Amino acid sequence: MDMIIKNGTVVNASGSFRADVGVRDGKIVCIAESIEAGSCENIIDASGKLVLPGAIDAHTHLAMPFGGTVSSDDYFAGTRAAACGGTTTVFDFALQDFGEKMTDTVKRRDALCAPDAAVDYSFHVAVKDVENGLLDSLEECVKYGVPSFKVFMVYDFGVTDGVFYRVLQKAKEVGALIEVHAENNELVNTLTKQYLSEGKTSAWYHYMSRPEFVEGEADERAIQWAKASGAPLYIVHLANKQGVEAVTKAKDEGYKIYAETCPQYLEFTSDVYKRDDGRNFVCSPPMKGKESQDAIWEAIRRGDIDTIATDHCPFQSAEKDWGINDFTKIPNGCAGIENMYPYMLSAAGEGKITFEQAVKLCSENPAKIFGCKDKGVIAVGKDADIVIYDPQLDFTITNDKMHSDCDHTIWEGIKLHGYPVQTYSRGRLVYDNGEFLGERGWGKFVKCSLK
């Protein structure tokens, strides 16, 4: 064996148990009460520690052209930060160009990602254009290993209701999964115009122009179309109570509606937009009121939220500053790729959820939903994507300790109880006690299959 992790407590979504874990050639090859060292010289003592499957961040935007600039973490910086927060697989949104086949979108972004990625990665295609036969190119992309596609109901590249519905119909036909960014574009534009004309330009009006009902209504509409088309639907970055209720209802009725939320909605409320640095928190959908936050936590506890992901899309302070006098000029998005697993595990340590739930939300469920067959669980035959976690280690997040290229973090000063001490990507140590030890280009493209 290449490595044996001894005396730790293995935590999977299905339960926790004391065991040694043996690794060979990047795979978990043995899990037993005690594994003899034999000729293995790499013995890791995990006494008092938890041994977890690496997290899968199903929602990131690396080097993404957006908001008049490009998000500030490229594929290396973003995946380096991921590794240091216990995330061993990231999904990036590959934004389709007009006139481009979906597989070509993936190949174009993979050419950038492959030389740089420090952990494993896959893609979702963000769909812009389905005309002139491009809708049919979904099928080829599914076969290529990218079976998930996102539609935006907002932004200048958002799709019309009709296109969204056609994409759902095609997904049903070819076995794809459609993700949606649900906000009502017409209402966002109307409210934005109103506030700007009244001289209301601070970051607070980013929230006011995209309040709870703007997202909730779009969630309900998206779910309605998924039901009508018979296709499953994955709602990304769910952040409001009305939407949570719609998801719960649809699940209770037996529909395959998945919901993702992000740590920022669990930690912050819309009050952040009243702060002097409120623009740094600008993302869409925005943080909502306490009632929504409580509803999301409740839904997590009862299992109606399926996954946690980050929506990592950082922009430098100088870029956020473009919107000091006009919230519409603030590039939308925040950093979080290094904070998700530590945040959710710390919440488990505090008793808000269990450690098994944290693992399910951050690792097992994204692996299952997006079809990463070799990931998401500590089990024989799976990739040795392993996090060793010290549940007693106190950690205060400060940007100087983060491994992103962004010059600030909305997580500054947040205190966590418990923190990852080591991350292994396919058996290779990539993070050790504060230090990135990985390698540019180590990460491999993960072919996904929903079959």
The site for Zn ion (CB under 5 A) is made up of: 181, 311
Q: Residue 282 Cβ, how far from ligand URP at the closest point, in Å?
A: 7
What residues numbered 93-152 form the site for ligand URP, per CB under 6 A? none
DSSP 389-428: EEEEEEEE--GGG--SS-S--TTTT-EEEEEEEEEEETTE
Q: Residue 318 Cβ, how far from ligand URP at the closest point, in Å?
A: 18
Question: Of Zn ion, ligand URP, none, which one sits near residue 92, judging by CB under 5 to 8 A according to partner kind?
Answer: none
Task: Please report whether residue 246 would count as binding ligand URP according to CB under 6 A.
Answer: no
For 233-272, give one letter per residue: b (16+ CB within 10 A) or e.
bbbbbbbbbbbbbbbbebbeeebebbbbbbbbbbbbbbeb
Task: Please report whether residue 311 would count as binding ligand URP according to CB under 6 A.
Answer: yes
Task: Please report whether residue 309 would count as binding ligand URP according to CB under 6 A.
Answer: no
Ramachandran category for residue 58: left, alpha or beta (phi over 0 → left; psi -120 to 50 → alpha) = alpha
Q: What are the phi and psi torsion angles at 64 (to 5°)?
A: -95, 125
- Looking at the DSSP bridge assignments, the partners of residue 89 are 56, 120
Nearer to ligand URP (CB atom), residue 122 or residue 284: 284
The overall longest dimension of the chain from CA atoms, in Å, is 74
Contact present, 92 and 113 (Cβ < 8 Å) = yes
Question: Of Zn ion, ligand URP, none, which one sits near residue 283, judging by CB under 5 to 8 A according to partner kind?
Answer: ligand URP
Task: Please report whether residue 284 would count as binding ligand URP according to CB under 6 A.
Answer: yes
Binder to ligand URP among 182, 222, 283, 361 (CB under 6 A)?
283
Question: Of Zn ion, ligand URP, none, which one sits near residue 332, judging by CB under 5 to 8 A according to partner kind?
Answer: ligand URP
Contact present, 409 and 335 (Cβ < 8 Å) = yes
Nearer to ligand URP (CB atom), residue 155 or residue 165: 155
Q: Residue 236 Cβ, how far from Zn ion at the closest point, in Å?
A: 6
Task: Please report whether residue 61 would count as binding ligand URP according to CB under 6 A.
Answer: yes
Q: Residue 203 Cβ, how far from ligand URP at the closest point, in Å?
A: 13
Count the residues of the shown chain that bind ligand URP, applying the rule CB under 6 A. Answer: 8
DSSP 107-160: HHHHHHHTTT-SSEEEEEEE----TTTGGGHHHHHHHHT--EEEEESSSTTPPP
Binder to ligand URP among 181, 279, 382, 408 (CB under 6 A)?
181
What residues numbered 324-363 form the site for ligand URP, per CB under 6 A? 332-333
Q: Residue 337 Cβ, how far from ligand URP at the closest point, in Å?
A: 13
Torsion angle in degrees (nearest 10) through CA of 99, 105, 111, 115: 150
Encoded tokens for 353? 């959820």
Binding footprint of ligand URP on the chain (CB under 6 A): 61, 181, 283-284, 311, 313, 332-333
